[in-house]
Structures are given as structure tokens and as C-alpha cells.
Structure 1
Amino acid sequence: MTAAIPVDRKLNVVFTFTAVLLFMVDMGNPVYYWGIIGGLFLSFLFSLAAFLLQHLSLDGMFAATVAGTLIFGLGGWPMAAIILLFFISSAVISTPQDQDRLSGEASGNVRRSGIQVWANGLWMVLCLVMAAAFDNSIFLLGGVAAVAVATADTWATELRSTKGGTTYLISTFEPVSPGADGGISLKGTAWASAGSMMIAGTSTYFFSLSLGSFFIIFIAGFLGCVLDSYLGAIFQRHNRPMVVPFVRKEIRFNNNLVNAVSTGAGALLAIIFRIAII
């Protein structure tokens, strides 16, 4: 029986093809043309360094290289700086125990896998591709908001309260142990706000965005983090599957799927907020 191909490897193939296609289409456009070449070179060097420093697995290195190529190629230095700010801040504040819990493994492996890279970066890459394809900056706002969600969630998780009696289940507000799926605390919520605000402020500066865009990114990032906790409380905590209507297929939420859904929701919220304001 043939083993199923991991989702992250499938995404690597899809977005590698996308990068090649954009490279061929935009050969006359020096911005994207040289951006994709530079993105491939620089993202590979950074991913290799992260692999050697044991922050990324081998699959994680390949995923980060593919994602980084498109992020730098389509978003330039400003977008690359934003994603690096997320990754470096996450690496600095993360502990091996927290990373084991985040990956759902108990093997002691502190490296981020390919699926973890895509769980946090998929929607940013998709939004950048959409922004390039339709020449509409509203998708850029969505991509940045997705990073704000990932940053808020990571900061809240890593810097949460560790004292007993300070963490509550977001769905019922009953006391739970620190680090429990769906648990929130005042300290964790404050750090989530700080993480989202950092990405919003950095993006506003790099892209010369308006004050309204700053608040859109900040609010969408924070709400996406709240959704992450809620999904954890409803699905992860009790290992409860979600049944897809019509096809009656069960989907079980692990941490990576929750991250992917919440970052996507943050991106969508930012786009909706921008449309509503305009």
C-alpha cells in the first residue's frame, strides 16, 4: 500500500510551480523577476541556517525556502522583514517543552516541521500571490493580518501565565491548567495584543499604511488569536471531529489545522474590514 504524501510536501510542489510560473510570466518585470531569484537565494540561506541551528526540520527547511521565495519575490524586503520578525521572535521566546506541545509530539524534537511552516505561512503566501495576480493591495493587508494572528498566538502561548488559578477555558470560563487547549489568561491575552500590535505597527511603517490599516491588522490579528483558542476549546480539548456538511466527512483538528484556520480567518477579516471601511 502506497504511503500518503504529506500535505506540506504537496504544498511545496504547488507553490514551487507557482513561483516558476510567476518567474516566467514576469521575466519582463524586473521587480518580480529579480525578486524571485533573490528570494530563492536568501530564503535558502536563512532556512539552511535555521536547520543547522535546529529550529527547522529538513521538511521545514524546504517549506521555508519555497514560502520565502514567494514572500520575498512578491512582497520584497518589507514583507520578508515582517515574516523574519515573526520567526525570530518566536524562536527567541520558545522553549523546547512548548515546541513539543505545539507540534503535538513527545519526542523532544524542537525543530519546526514543514506542516508547521505552512500552517502559519500558507495564507500570507496565498494573499501575496493574489495581490500580484489581481494587482490589488487589499490582499497584502490580508497577508499581513495572517502573520499578526500567528505572532499573537505564538506570543500568547509562549508567554502565558504559568500560575494555577489564572487560566480559564474560553468557551465556559471554567478554571483549567496553564497550557490547556482553549485556555486563556490575562497575561497571555496581553501578550497576544502586543504581538499583533507589533506586526501591525511594523507593517504600517514599512508599507506606509494609514492609521486605519494599522487598526485593521491589529484587530484582525487579535481576533484570529481568539478564534484559535476557541477552536482549541471546542475541538482539540475533547478530540472532537467536525463533520463537513453534505459529504459527511470528519475532520479532526490538531494544532496545525487550528493555526491554519485561524490565520486564514484573520486574513479574511482584514479584507472584509477594509472593504467595509471603503
Structure 2
Amino acid sequence: MRTSCTTTPTRSLVVMAAILILMIAAASPCSAFVPTSQIQRTAAVSSASFPSSPSSTQLALDISGENIGATTSLIATAVGPIASSLFAYGGNVPLWQSCALNAVLFGTLRSKLNKMLTAEGFAHAFALGTLLWTTLGWRGWTLCVMYLFLGQAVTKVKFQEKEKAGIAEARGGRRGPENVWGSALTGLICAACSVQGGGSFLGISSDVYLLAYVASLATKLADTFASEIGKAYGKTTFLITTFERVKPGTEGAVSAEGTAAAVVGGLLLSLFGYAIHLISWPGVIVSTIAAFLATNAESLIGATLQEKEGFEFMTNEVVNFINTLIGAFIAILGGVLILGM
């Protein structure tokens, strides 16, 4: 899909992500706001308390260099008790350790990541990576990085030709904050849910949430593979709703080449999730099917709603978020109803 400018609905995804970050940090005994003696390295339910000192919150969250401490302190104070009672958060790795490890890895990969992300996208990806590490450890972090690398690689396929045709990703294919959260916010929610309740949260097991996490990213990679390979190699491109022939890059357009690529993309990331022991072998099948079905659902949304009058809020990033939600939901259904997880 072509990248659009950041609109109000797209910014709302970033705001949602920021609130989730504050909730996790506020409720986490692994956060920098809680003494080290209280840190637990298990995913068991823990009683998290939020500090009453707004000055420490201000110092911890005022990372932009602007005077936003009072605002973030107010928000954090408001969501802290809610987060503590809702999540009873107990991540796998202390937040401060996750931040440190993420900083080292991002520093090591900075030259490569700068080619994939804008400056703002880099900062948001750092926040995402830290939270994924504190919830799922290196496995969750690595899966997301693998998605980023594979997605960037396929985006660059015949990139100059796609640029000439006006259907290439904007900014040379570099991702911004809206892309980061549109692609991974669903996954972060699934990751957070997987470490709640000592093995079960809202009646759903942690293994199912892990499957949904993998499926959400597999869904986005399948969509990227379908879009980029379809634009590069698609011989016949048609609208998924009417089968009318359209130009490559049209919202809701599909091709045989892109459809096959979607299966490959979803399968690749699902297999990687299996290789690093996030999901089981049957989970690979469920994740791949979920990714494929969600990608086609996304094409339907693109053809019927996106860029239509009255649906201006349906930007690419909002559609991507819905796409990953559908993939995760199908995976949850598959995990519970088919695999009996």
C-alpha cells in the first residue's frame, strides 16, 4: 500500500500506543519507577504500585527535551491505578533492562535501521522494541525485527520502477511512527495480554495470545508481500470486489502473483515464530491461514471503504491496524476452537 500523510486518525494510533506504553510502565513492577528489590522476572501476577512522586515520572518520561513533564505526570497518575488493577503486569524482563538491551541493539543496528525508519520512526520503534522485550523477551523482539527486515527487503524489489509509476512507498520506503504503530500496535497488545494473569487473561491462555502476536505480524508481512510483489510482478491486476481490471497500486487491487506472495510472507514469519519457540507447528498453519484471510479482508476494506466519501479517516495506517486486528482475531479463534489451546 502507498503511504499517506499522517492524518488525525493516524495520529490517534500513536496516541493509543503512547497510552498503552504509559499503562504498562505505570503498572509494571519491572519499570524504572519501582525499586529494583521489587522487580520480578516472572510472568506471575504481581501487585504493582505506581509512585506518588510526579517529579520522578517527569524525569523518566520527559525524553523529548520539551517541557512535557507536567502533562505526562498527570496522565501517568491517572492511568496508573487503572493499569495496575487491569493488567497486574508482570513482564518477563525488567523494563530498565529491556531499555538498556534495546539501546545497545538499536545502536549496533543504527546504520541499517536509519535506512528503514525516519528519525521519528526510529524513536517510536525504540519504544516498541523496549516494550516487546519486557513482555516477551528476545523472542518477541526478534520476531518484530525480522518482520521489519523482510518487509523492507520486499519493499525494495524493483523500487525504481515502482517510483517511476508513482506506486512506490513514500520517503524511499522508510517507515514513520504511523507505520510503526499501524503495523505493530495489535502485536504489542497481544504481547502484553500474554503475560497477564499467570497463564490466562480474560479466559484466554497465554499461548493463544502468543499465537495472535505472531499472526498479527505475519498478517502485516503478508500484506506487504502481496502489495510489493503485486506491484512489481503482477501481470493482471483486478479489483477484489468486481474483478474489474485496474492499475497496480489501486486500493483493493489483487493479482495472482501478489496473492501467492501473501502466502509466502505469512508462512515465512510464522515459521520463524516456530523456530524461536513462540508458537507450535500447528500454530504455524493457523497463523499462516489467519494472515492470508486477513490480507484478503484488508483488500475488501480497501476496495469498499478506503478513499471513499465519508470514510476519509480510513488511512493506510488505520486500515493496517484493522488488518492486523483481524489476523490476530482469526488466530485466537483458530487457537481456541481448532487447536483447543
TM-score by length of 1: 0.83
Alpha-carbon deviation of 1:67?
1.1
Counterpart of 1:13 in structure 2 is 18
Q: Distance in 1 between matches of 2:19 and 2:119?
A: 18
Letter in 2 for 1:41: A
Checking the alignment, whether the CA contact within 8 Å between 1:43 and 1:64 is kept in structure 2 is no
Counterpart of 1:157 in structure 2 is 227
Measured on the aligned residues, the alpha-carbon RMSD in Å equals 2.8
- 1:43 paired residue among 79, 98, 102: 102
- 1:69 paired residue among 121, 124, 130: 130
Q: State the structure with more CA Rg.
A: 2
Alpha-carbon deviation of 1:263?
0.4
Alpha-carbon deviation of 1:8?
5.0
Counterpart of 2:186 in structure 1 is 123
- Range that drifts further, 132-141 or 114-123: 132-141
Q: Distance in 2 between matches of 1:191 and 1:64?
A: 26
Alpha-carbon deviation of 1:211?
3.1
Alpha-carbon deviation of 1:58?
2.4
Cα-to-partner distance string for 1:94-141 (whole Å, 9 max, x where unaligned): 2366698576x5xx4542110110000001000011111233221111
- 1:239 paired residue among 288, 308, 313: 308
Q: Which runs of 5+ in 1 are unaligned?
A: 243-250
Secondary structure in structure 1 of the residue aligned to 2:117: coil
Alpha-carbon deviation of 1:87?
0.3
**Taking structure 1 as reference, are residues 118 and 102 closer, same or farther at Cα in structure 2, changes over 3 Å only?**
farther
The count of aligned residue pairs is 263
Q: Distance in 2 between matches of 1:85 and 1:169?
A: 30
Letter in 1 for 2:183: N
**Taking structure 1 as reference, are residues 51 and 16 closer, same or farther at Cα in structure 2, changes over 3 Å only?**
farther
Checking the alignment, whether the CA contact within 8 Å between 1:8 and 1:114 is kept in structure 2 is no
Cα-to-partner distance string for 1:117-174 (whole Å, 9 max, x where unaligned): 0000001000011111233221111111100101101111111154675111111111
Q: Distance in 2 between matches of 1:114 and 1:67?
A: 10
Q: Distance in 2 between matches of 1:47 and 1:233?
A: 38
What are the equivalent positions in structure 2 for 1:248-263 lying under 5 Å apart?
252-263=313-324
Secondary structure in structure 2 of the residue aligned to 1:143: helix
Letter in 2 for 1:143: Y
1:111 aligns to 2:177 (yes or no): no
Alpha-carbon deviation of 1:256?
0.6
Letter in 2 for 1:219: I
Report percent identity of matched pairs: 24
**Taking structure 1 as reference, are residues 162 and 39 closer, same or farther at Cα in structure 2, changes over 3 Å only?**
same
Q: Distance in 2 between matches of 1:94 and 1:8?
A: 23
Q: Distance in 1 between matches of 2:105 and 2:230?
A: 29
Q: Distance in 1 between matches of 2:282 and 2:143?
A: 19
TM-score by length of 2: 0.69
**Taking structure 1 as reference, are residues 222 and 102 closer, same or farther at Cα in structure 2, changes over 3 Å only?**
farther
- Range that drifts further, 33-42 or 268-277: 33-42
**Taking structure 1 as reference, are residues 43 and 101 closer, same or farther at Cα in structure 2, changes over 3 Å only?**
farther
Checking the alignment, whether the CA contact within 8 Å between 2:39 and 2:94 is kept in structure 1 is no
Secondary structure in structure 2 of the residue aligned to 1:133: coil
Alpha-carbon deviation of 1:21?
2.9
1:54 aligns to 2:115 (yes or no): yes
Secondary structure in structure 2 of the residue aligned to 1:197: helix
**Taking structure 1 as reference, are residues 173 and 87 closer, same or farther at Cα in structure 2, changes over 3 Å only?**
same
- 1:143 paired residue among 204, 210, 213: 213
**Taking structure 1 as reference, are residues 109 and 204 closer, same or farther at Cα in structure 2, changes over 3 Å only?**
closer
Alpha-carbon deviation of 1:188?
0.5
What are the equivalent positions in structure 2 for 1:163-174 lying under 5 Å apart?
166-174=236-244
Letter in 2 for 1:241: G
1:273 aligns to 2:334 (yes or no): yes
Checking the alignment, whether the CA contact within 8 Å between 1:82 and 1:203 is kept in structure 2 is yes
Checking the alignment, whether the CA contact within 8 Å between 2:215 and 2:288 is kept in structure 1 is yes
Alpha-carbon deviation of 1:260?
0.4
**Taking structure 1 as reference, are residues 141 and 172 closer, same or farther at Cα in structure 2, changes over 3 Å only?**
same
Counterpart of 1:85 in structure 2 is 146
Secondary structure in structure 2 of the residue aligned to 1:112: coil
